[in-house]
Chains A and B, each alone.
Chain A
Amino acid sequence: MSEQIREQVSAFLDGELPNSETELLLKRLTRDAELRESFGRYALIGESLRAVSLRPCPTVSPRV
């Protein structure tokens, strides 16, 4: 899998891939199972990066 395609997958998931490149990438993605697997990994990583911990901060409460 070329660097360029992986970069396109990443940009696609971020909603940043130019329209002109999207159709070809989607064709590749629907045909190539390995590329779809990468697509899934990138989606998961993006979701992990966006995750925000809801854990309360233990150092704040005593000061309030």
Chain B
Amino acid sequence: MSVEESDLKLVEKVQRGERAAFDLLVLRYQHKVLKLIMRYVHDATEAEDIAQEAFVKAYRALQSFRGDSAFYTWLYRIAINTAKNALVANKRRPMDYDLDLQDPEQYDLHARLAESETPEGLLLTDEIRDTVNRAIEKPTRGFANRHRAAGIGRIKLRRHCADDGLPGRYGTLTKFFVRARR
């Protein structure tokens, strides 16, 4: 079942009153949404607040979702609008510039936007990726044994990581992720 179809299935469950189905949608998309919001807001804590607000809005509006677009497209719009509203509420101009190649003065602006990552943030992002890559490339003895025991089956990369290297708990990972994106 494609991602879009399974999202729709989850949405239908939420519409029938299964709250836990919405948790799955949040778990599936929270990182994407956070990254999206951090294009507008560079403070991680503020971005988390906006992401939370966006998901609450989505939950409240979900009864009217009819699947005309993919769920994530719909959620994406809500998240963008929530982020822009937050900026306006804080009297800051949303960073929503259209690039006009005829206007050289804009080059500098876009260069600054592109370089909003801090060295520390980049390093943390790299650390996460390196850890993931190490976990994939150098499976532990325990993993190798399990792999052999199970036969060479269809085992997904992300499970290698979950089992064999990434630091402990989900919450910790989320914090790393948010800090890395700051």
Report the Cα distance A18→B125, complex, angstroms: 33
Report the Cα distance A19→B30, complex, angstroms: 25
Report the Cα distance A38→B25, complex, angstroms: 14
Instruction: Evaluate contact between B2 and A15: CB separation under 8 angstroms.
Output: yes
| Nearest CB of chain A from residue B157's CB, rounded to whole Å | 6
Residue B125 contacts which of A6, A31, A41, A51 (CB distance < 8 angstroms)? A51
Instruction: Evaluate contact between A30 and B161: CB separation under 8 angstroms.
Output: no
- Assess A45 versus B161: contact at CB under 8 Å? Given A15-B1, A30-B13: yes
> Who on chain A is nearest to B114 by CB?
A54
Report the Cα distance A27→B24, complex, angstroms: 11
Instruction: Evaluate contact between B13 and A26: CB separation under 8 angstroms.
Output: yes
SS class, residues of chain A in contact with chain B: helix
Instruction: Evaluate contact between A39 and B18: CB separation under 8 angstroms.
Output: no
- Assess A53 versus B122: contact at CB under 8 Å? Given A15-B1, A40-B27: yes
Report if A49 contacts B (CB, 8 A).
Answer: yes
Instruction: Evaluate contact between B132 and A45: CB separation under 8 angstroms.
Output: yes
Residue B129 contacts which of A36, A37, A53 (CB distance < 8 angstroms)? A53
Residue B154 contacts which of A7, A12, A30, A51 (CB distance < 8 angstroms)? A7
Instruction: Evaluate contact between A22 and B114: CB separation under 8 angstroms.
Output: no
| Nearest CB of chain A from residue B49's CB, rounded to whole Å | 19
> Who on chain A is nearest to B132 by CB?
A48
Residue A47 contacts which of B9, B31, B122 (CB distance < 8 angstroms)? B31
Instruction: Evaluate contact between A22 and B132: CB separation under 8 angstroms.
Output: no
Report if B170 contacts A (CB, 8 A).
Answer: yes
Instruction: Evaluate contact between A22 and B156: CB separation under 8 angstroms.
Output: no
Report if B10 contacts A (CB, 8 A).
Answer: yes
Residue B6 contacts which of A12, A30, A40 (CB distance < 8 angstroms)? A12
Chain A interface residues (CB < 8 Å from chain B): 3, 6-7, 10-15, 17-19, 22, 26, 29-31, 36-49, 51, 53-55
Can you identify 18 A-B contacts, CB atoms within 8 angstroms? A3-B150, A15-B6, A22-B6, A29-B20, A30-B13, A30-B20, A30-B21, A36-B20, A36-B27, A37-B170, A42-B159, A44-B31, A44-B173, A44-B174, A46-B158, A48-B132, A48-B177, A54-B117
Chain B interface residues (CB < 8 Å from chain A): 1-6, 9-10, 13, 18, 20-21, 23-24, 27-32, 35, 114, 117, 122, 125-126, 128-129, 132, 146, 150, 153-159, 161-162, 166, 170, 173-174, 177
